Structure 1
């Protein structure tokens, strides 16, 4: 029988999603479970197995020839293990081996979630047609991935392009990763909200103190909220410019919940980029919002699986 489909898994701290995907990137069968992130390793793997169980029960499963996993990181693609920061029960967890056991030994590709999003945006999204791209996920954390010379560049461990932990403020706040002044420590959603609150921004009557609420306040003209987004944009611009200078990218694609702020983020980001991306070969860099949305992880995991063929 023709094995023209791939299985895809998107594993994060909130949900575990799975799909059977065809060669055009269409998701034909879907399954999803909440991630029991505060429970032990086997409870989390149990949720993965339930998702895979739904996929293998489909009549289309016989057409699946490989599987791809996009996981919150860090991941170690060489060892087939994952240690997601937001899933404490998994440290060096042998995810590839366990998934292979569940799906009957099919080949499995593992990439970090930022790399998966990059694969999706390059295949079907905002980076399509670009040979050199950086894609960022700006959300609870800041992740990313690279396309170089027309191909996904995950690096030996599957983490290349992890822009969130480039230091852009040498004497800045300590980051949970152990460094100081990382892009993530300044530009992630929780840190945008934390800085706005520390500088005197007050949530509305509903008490919503998320980055989305800060964006709404900035849109309404609140100067403290605006300043917090401008600082985040500056950190992202510095990280993007450093990456562009190092590897010569043509486009930076930005997705994740924080990108939902729209012009509140993108206007100061483009302005700051002009201050940092100053050399002749990086001045023409395009910045665009991601378009693949919540399916990016699954589509990108499928792209990684297709590459195994």
Structure 2
């Protein structure tokens, strides 16, 4: 039956490409994840992405896709189907990704900001299911955000609403990729947790097991902090404090039922979640504080892929006669 037709989901990350076939029950099939190699430029990366998509269709064994959903960091123009200038993909300017995808696979396609896709995935199939108002933050190479407000996906006037990674947490603070200073992303993304640790190591003589890590990665900082390393713990405590502060501000604005955290940095689990949840519950304004929970993404590492699939399923449902 047409109602059961699967979709192809493509996720274009700064570090990795991920693809899968997604069935209407939210399950992924033929999942593949491979390095982006963004230095090769858009033409080669997109060719690789499409080749992965064809492999996924063949491996999944669930039939041909009825639509394709694409998730990618912004800025992008979801209405025109163009990646205008994604911050995590330098040199990608006005790439007509939807037209290219439709030409490759012969079915309708849709593109959305990766965190917008992720919040749709979590809302349709994951931790935010059944909640009218939900926020999602992806804490990975960068920090993105997405929201469902009163049951509807919030896109904003130009389709890039929900850039939660670019709220200011330190006035005049660290420089951010977006060109401003003091953004949340400049402190709590995996990239910047590692960078802050490297800066602390070079500017101090404090003993730290991180001196044995080359290069220092965010997961090294988390592990060292958990083991009691003083330098790493200071970095980690600042990370959770600033993330908790930013989420509290968002809770005060949106008054959501639930805030979902995903992305690579959240693999640290309770070490990240517990202090952030405590900050939100004790500092958000009542009654919002009593009505919100902060949880980890139920869809795990596949959240953006399943989210892209959810958007493609939405597209099929909207266009079905």
Shift of 1:145: 0.8
Question: Aligned partners of 1:67, 1:183: CA distance in 2, in Å?
Answer: 32
From the superposition, tell whether residues 170 and 205 of structure 1 become closer, same or farther in structure 2 (CA, over 3 Å).
closer
Match of residue 102 from structure 2: 100
Do 1:40 and 1:89's aligned partners in 2 also have CA atoms closer than 8 Å? yes
Shift of 1:124: 2.1
Question: Aligned partners of 2:285, 2:163: CA distance in 1, in Å?
Answer: 22
Shift of 1:111: 0.9
**SS across alignment from 2:24:** coil
The reply to whether residue 247 of structure 1 matches residue 247 of structure 2 is: no
Match of residue 150 from structure 2: 149
Residue-by-residue CA offset, 1:182-236 (whole Å, 9 max, x unaligned): 1111111222233234334631534451111111121112233222122112221
Shift of 1:137: 0.9
1:45-60 matches, cutoff 5 A:
45-55=46-56
Match of residue 76 from structure 2: 75
1:200-215 matches, cutoff 5 A:
200=204, 202=208, 203-207=210-214, 209-215=216-222
Runs of 4+, deviation exceeding 4 Å? 55-63
Question: Aligned partners of 1:56, 1:283: CA distance in 2, in Å?
Answer: 45
What RMSD, in angstroms, separates the aligned Cα atoms of the two structures?
2.3
Per the normalisation by structure 2, the TM-score is 0.87
Match of residue 11 from structure 1: 12
Q: Of the candidates 227, 230, 242, which is equivalent to residue 223 of structure 1?
A: 230
Structure 2, unaligned stretches of length 5 or more? none
Match of residue 88 from structure 2: 86
The reply to whether residue 306 of structure 1 matches residue 313 of structure 2 is: yes
**SS across alignment from 1:64:** coil
Match of residue 2 from structure 1: 2
Shift of 1:77: 0.5
**SS across alignment from 1:307:** helix
Residue-by-residue CA offset, 1:235-274 (whole Å, 9 max, x unaligned): 2122212222222211111111211222332232123324
Question: Aligned partners of 1:128, 1:93: CA distance in 2, in Å?
Answer: 33
Do 1:8 and 1:298's aligned partners in 2 also have CA atoms closer than 8 Å? yes
Could you tell which deviates more after superposition, 187-196 or 176-185? 187-196
1:151-230 matches, cutoff 5 A:
151-199=152-200, 200=204, 202=208, 203-207=210-214, 209-230=216-237
From the superposition, tell whether residues 157 and 18 of structure 1 become closer, same or farther in structure 2 (CA, over 3 Å).
farther
Do 2:139 and 2:261's aligned partners in 1 also have CA atoms closer than 8 Å? yes
The aligned length equals 308
Question: Aligned partners of 1:186, 1:72: CA distance in 2, in Å?
Answer: 18
